[in-house]
Amino acid sequence: MTRHLITSAIPYINGIKHLGNLVGSQLPADLYARYLRQRGNEVLFLCATDEHGTPAELAAAKAGKPVEEYCAEMYAVQAKIAEGFGLSFDHFGRSSSVQNEKLTQHFAGALADEGLIEEVEQSQIYSETDGRFLPDRYVEGTCPNCGFEDARGDQCDNCTKQLDPEDLINPRSTISGATDLEMRATKHLFLKQSQMKDRLNDWISSKTDWPVLTTSIAKKWLNDGDGLQDRGITRDLKWGVPVKRGDAEWPGMEGKVFYVWFDAPIEYIACAQEWVDAGKGDDWERWWRTDKGADDVQYTQFMGKDNVPFHTLSFPSTIMGSNEPWKLVDYIKSFNYLNYDGGQFSTSRGRGVFMDQALEILPADYWRWWLLSHAPETSDSEFTWENFQAATNKDLADVLGNFVSRITKFCRAKFGEEVPAAGEYGEAENALIADLTERVARYAEQMDKMEVRKSAAELRAIWAAGNEYLQAQAPWTTFKTDPDKAAAQVRLALNLIPLYASLAAPFIPDAAAKMLAGMKIEDAGWPDDVPAAVAQLSAGHVFEVPEVLFAKITDDQREEWAEKFAGKRD
């Protein structure tokens, strides 16, 4: 089996993320990792918190805590939430780790040795009020490209254009709000990305299987306007990876740190080192170095579209430019945005559902199912409480949950809590098995392609097939005249439960585990052979009627939550 390395975009440390962040990277990555493990593949699934840069400093200052303490606390919070959503990371690391610091300094030295680092004297915004230089995210203003009034000094969140602070119209300090800003001279290191343009273009052009969203964004950044620009990789901050050239000091760069978008992607590699150092695995190099066996690794990244430029251009420039045998990504699965009820999620306005809040009101599987089945793959999608209620009630309660409850309770009433022995399968049963064999193959095909919504639709259809069979064959009616035939119908239907659990496990792992527990099966395995899978519960196999898998969301609950998470009004 192929070895699969999977990473999802690493979330900023500054606060708890909303559902759009979850479905744009971590959740689909977990879906894929769980599926690949079920199919017998060796998987290393890594994620971490992105802890450096101005977002961390600003959030810590707002919380009135030292930045190191703030980051440690928020790491624990994010790790707990990830566990609550069932995100099956092999390791959840931190970009502030010693491993990432050393590796970032190593890459800077390697790039300098290759002539790809240049020391540049430039003018940078200085705030008299704050008494300091203001790095990019300490400056906000109006985007010169689209007119968005709250663009950051490194990127506009509205149009995704990469910016420098001096590009902004009417800039202001995010520390004090001061507008008495002036340009002063300072020195910084730049990565000569422009020298990598041809190599990057050839590499991206070779990825003919990438999603259109990924390649279109990469090509736009590579070729639009002035093309790929050299990029500053240092900042005037205290919190971050100190600027060094490998293990050596870098004259003139004292007191500076590496730019967060230089060190953050390197954490993917460092995270594997952390995984080994934590005693969870061994030999991280076989996953990341092509001279140590990583040639046979399939590396897949998951991210929102705003992260695509950094993972198709900046990070590959670092990897390629080092001229060392590092593993490059093979496939980038990118996502559009999830919006909230006609607008955007907003932390400041308390608008929308955030990950901790979601887990407080409903179990994780409700959210996992809705988010993945509505994943914003080809366009932006929108969360509304009406759709969430309707979709989860129908799919989870009416289709899957009802099937499990209906057949187990009927069997208990007529045959006891064991699989009935009488009866042979007839035409309807064989037709259902044949239909499910085709559907399971299509489901696996979509999962292999990482087509999230199509996979969810096929899984839903597989569940529905069982309900349609029960409705058409009506064993509760058959039992009155032909108990043996009803027994055969019940036996097949009971065998669908572990099949459904196995197929559903990547999407709704908690419910799948409850289904298996009720049928007294530890692990159903992946159903490579559907006829064999639906015969694994032999006559006499004892089971228990599982508890209700999914309670329906009521209208009162929907209205209460819609009001609670509506946020502040203008």
DSSP reduced 3-state for 343: strand
In order of 373, 393, 452, 480, 553, the CA distances from 399 in angstroms are: 15, 9, 20, 25, 14
Q: Is 71 annotated as a binding residue?
A: no
172 contacts: CB under 8 Å, gap ≥ 6: 139, 140, 141, 178, 179, 181
Buried b (16+ CB within 10 A) or exposed e, 37-60: bbbeeebbbbbbbbbbbbbbbbbb
Give the span between the Cα atoms of 566 and 254, in whole angstroms. 47
The DSSP output letter for 554 is P
The count of residues in the chain is 570
Buried b (16+ CB within 10 A) or exposed e, 154-192: bbbeeebbbbbbbbbeebbbbbeeeeebeeeebebbbbb
Q: What interhelical angle do 452-473 and 402-414 show, nearest 10? A: 30
Q: Which two tokens stand for residue 521?
A: 């099966």
Q: Is 146 annotated as a binding residue?
A: yes
Exposed (0-12), middle (13-18) or buried (19+): which is 542, by Cβ within 10 Å?
A: exposed
Helix or strand holding residue 523 (H, E): none
146 contacts: CB under 8 Å, gap ≥ 6: 156, 158, 159, 161
Among 396, 462, 395, which Cα is nearest to 433's? 462
Q: Which two tokens stand for residue 497?
A: 């439960």
Q: Is 159 annotated as a binding residue?
A: yes
**Which residues fall in the annotated binding site for ATP?**
347
Residues annotated within the binding site for Zn(2+) are 143, 146, 156, 159
Q: Which residues are annotated as a binding site?
A: 143, 146, 156, 159, 347
